[in-house]
């Protein structure tokens, strides 16, 4: 597959190489010939903005500029966050609306998604918790402004 648009069923985008990503959805998983950052950027563009535009929007709403969560699509509140610096080829993207819970796993973390799928991440529990907190704050601000 050459192109992929993030949707409400997207749970995670995991880089395999600098040109291949593993897409995990609620009821499917597959590989695509794009890097993870490009998938996020192209999906933002598909929904009428760009990664850079969404990044700037997050900075203005949250006042943070590093590893910002991204509102990919606003009508369905599709929010993703990076596990590392977004342009790092090892950066995974996790989707807030799909998380059921998260746990510490030695020096890394594990995310359990709403469908029961579990994913080990090479990110500290504290860093993951911070990313989820930031994403939740973005979600809250967007919902309040929509009303």
Tell me the per-residue pLDDT of 77-115, one tens digit each, with 9 for 90 and over.
999 999 999 988 899 999 999 999 999 988 899 999 999
**pLDDT above 80 for 27:** yes
For residue 89, what pLDDT is reported? Answer: 86
Give me the half-sphere count of Cα atoms (radius 13 Å) on the Cβ side of residue 122.
6
Q: Which of 5, 11, 27 is nearest to 96 (CA)?
A: 11
d(CA 42, CA 73): 12
Rounded Cα distance, 19 and 98, in Å: 25
Q: What are phi and psi of 86, to 5 degrees?
A: -55, -35
Cα dist. 61→1, 23, 30, 40, 118 in Å?
Answer: 35, 28, 34, 20, 31
- Its pTM stands at 0.95
Q: How confident is the model at residue 1 (pLDDT cuts 50, 70, 90)?
A: low
């Amino acid at each position: 597959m050459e192109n992929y648009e993030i949707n409400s069923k997207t749970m995670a985008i995991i880089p395999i190489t600098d040109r291949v990503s593993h897409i995990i959805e609620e009821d499917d998983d597959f590989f695509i010939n794009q890097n993870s950052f490009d998938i996020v950027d192209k999906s933002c563009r598909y929904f009428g903005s760009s990664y850079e535009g969404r990044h700037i929007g997050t900075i203005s709403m949250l006042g943070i500029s590093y590893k910002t969560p991204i509102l990919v699509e606003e009508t369905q509140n599709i929010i993703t966050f990076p596990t590392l610096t977004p342009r790092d080829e090892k950066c995974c993207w996790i989707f807030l609306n799909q998380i059921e819970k998260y746990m510490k796993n030695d020096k890394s973390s594990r995310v359990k998604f709403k469908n029961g799928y579990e994913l080990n991440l090479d990110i500290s529990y504290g860093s993951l918790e911070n990313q989820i907190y930031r994403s939740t704050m973005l979600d809250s601000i967007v919902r309040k402004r929509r009303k």
